[in-house]
Amino acid sequence: MARTDTWLLGGALVALLGIGSSLVARRFGAPLLLVFLALGVALGPEGAGFTMAPGIVYAIGALALAIILFDGGLQTRLAPLRPAIAPALWLATAGVAITAVLTALAAMWLLGIGWVEGLLLGAVLASTDAAAVFFLLRGAGIALPKRVNGVLEIESGSNDPVAVFLTVLLCTWLSVGNVGGPGGLALTLVLHLVLGLGLGVLGGRLIALGLNRLSLPEGLHPLFALAGAVGLFAATNTLHGSGFLAVYVAGLVLGQKPVRAIANVTTVLNASTWLAQGGMFLLLGMLVVPSTLLDVLGPALALAAVLMLVARPVAVAACLAPFGFHKREIGFVGWVGLRGAVGIFLASLPLLTDLPNAALYFNVAFVVVVTSLLVQGWTLKPAAKLFRVALPRRDTATRRIELDLPGQLEFELVGYRVGPTSAVLTKNAELPGWARPAMVVREGRILLPTEAGPAQADDTAYFLAPPGEVYRLDWLFAEGNEAREAEHETFGAFSLAGDVPLGELAGFYGLPIPPRYAAHTASEMFATRFEGEVHIGDRIALGGATLVARRIRDGRATEIGIVFHTDSLGRLQRWMSGWRERLRRAF
């Protein structure tokens, strides 16, 4: 009993220390995961003397990684990231293979190992760490263009299954010696990915169905989702599919559906992911014997330099250039390839299978991951500015209050604080028709909409709104410079009168539209599409852009905004640049 209490006390103190360290890490921009890694080393064989069996570390690490991937998929919204899906998936598959091969060549030369051992080390280090990338981006106070952000987000969440498959395959090759030849390898890979993808889609739908159909007691929805994800992970692995791919895809499927208690599920999963990340690094740190790192320090640092400066940039350039990415974007994505928990976790597999040189793989991977977190982690913000991809970051969504309403899926309760400069206080701001005022909290009193009257500064206003639409209210309650950016994100940077003919609009901006639309006005198109009940924020796709109803009078759109898609925006920018050049030459 005393031993149990000691372990519980130690675990609680470590968790509290990690929570406190997260504040310090955010303040100084340090990678938080290094804090847990350092704690693990301090508790390990040459610190406090605690030891962990590689099998236990692998089991806990696999569970932690499954939770991290499920949460990453759940929080990924595919609709705004569609232009990034194809390049990100290509980078997550072919990019991992290219990175592994180039890293293997360097490892063979630097460490004097064979080509299979080199490929194993390359596979261990081939995937990136999404948690580290986005924690540091948030801490740095920068945002990225949507396509660049989408590539990093989707790639980081989907490249782990490929790295895991390659690592397991090469470990099997080194321990057994027969993996079925090229045909058997291809069949195994296809089965691995197809089962992971198919079971992931099925599992995500079943979890969503269970959350929506079962009358669960309050508070059990997050546990149901988490247990479903872990069960899916284990079942897929049992059937020889990719469990990591399955849980990521299940999270993606669940994240795109209207789900009961989704706010509670997301909150609990955020905390679970934080704990999984910290616990994973803590345990991996306990496997390290610091004195043995000196023997491989020089070659490992050289390998880290090759990975950061050659292997990753070459893989990114080869995968993203065909999709029309700018050189600056390719350069930044090439630099933001942080290695993290997955690399050290995969390096524990040779220890688990007792391969020759297992300690070498683990020690080299440990040095490379720490170097990546230190060098790339602390240079993310300067790199974003150097490659000119950094955008001013606004966090309007973090000030949004979202509450699930049990018993139905069509609406949730969303609240905003009204700032002194919020657009909702101006005469020109109108609420979308789908947003129903519910109540206002003013000076400590709860008022119904009929009692509250017009919004006032320092109010907290609550609305009933469809879960997929609430972000379109952000612009009404943002302040200062953020308000303009949020408004542009909702309505686009250009606004036109509703009576503009679509033919003229398409010709001016180079938008491909069907000829039958050319004689109609934007207002007429909205009236026809929405049967005369047009609301602020209603949207219509037109060629390579989206028209957004910005102002309404007598049920008709009198002003529209234009949100350009990636390709259309590029054409518009080139058109404007051409005219600027003509004017410069003329005058």
For the residues 208-231, what does the mean pLDDT come to? 86
Q: Is the pLDDT of residue 282 over 90?
A: no
Each residue of 45-57: pLDDT tens digit? 777 777 777 777 7
| DSSP annotation string for 80-102 | GGHHHHHHHHHIIIIIHHHHHHH
For the residues 261-272, what does the mean pLDDT come to? 79
User: What pLDDT score does 580 carry?
Assistant: 47
Q: Is the pLDDT of residue 305 over 90?
A: yes
Class of domain 492-586 (CATH, top level): alpha beta
For the residues 569-580, what does the mean pLDDT come to? 45
Q: Is the pLDDT of residue 29 over 80?
A: no
3-state secondary structure of 23: helix
Q: Tell me if the pTM is above 0.85.
A: no
Block residue for tokens 């028209």: 547
The two beta strands, 401-403 and 412-417, are antiparallel
| DSSP annotation string for 179-205 | --HHHHHHHHHHHHHHHHHHHHHHHHH
Q: How far apart (Å, rounded) are the C-alpha atoms in residues 222 and 229?
A: 11
Q: How far apart (Å, rounded) are the C-alpha atoms in residues 252 and 158?
A: 11
Q: Is the pLDDT of residue 158 over 80?
A: no
Contact 416, 476 (CB under 8 A): yes
Tell me the domain boundaries of the chain. 57-386, 396-482, 492-586
φ, ψ dihedrals at 404, nearest 5°: -75, 145
Q: How far apart (Å, rounded) are the C-alpha atoms in residues 236 and 452?
A: 54
Q: How far apart (Å, rounded) are the C-alpha atoms in residues 36 and 23?
A: 13
Mean pLDDT of the chain: 77
User: What pLDDT score does 141 carry?
Assistant: 58
What does CATH list as the number for 396-482?
3.30.70.1450
Q: Is the pLDDT of residue 110 over 60?
A: yes
Q: How far apart (Å, rounded) are the C-alpha atoms in residues 502 and 520?
A: 6
Length of the chain: 587
Task: Name the β-bridge partners of 439.
Answer: 462
Q: Is the pLDDT of residue 362 over 90?
A: no
Q: Report the CATH fold assignment for 57-386.
A: Na+/H+ antiporter like fold (1.20.1530)
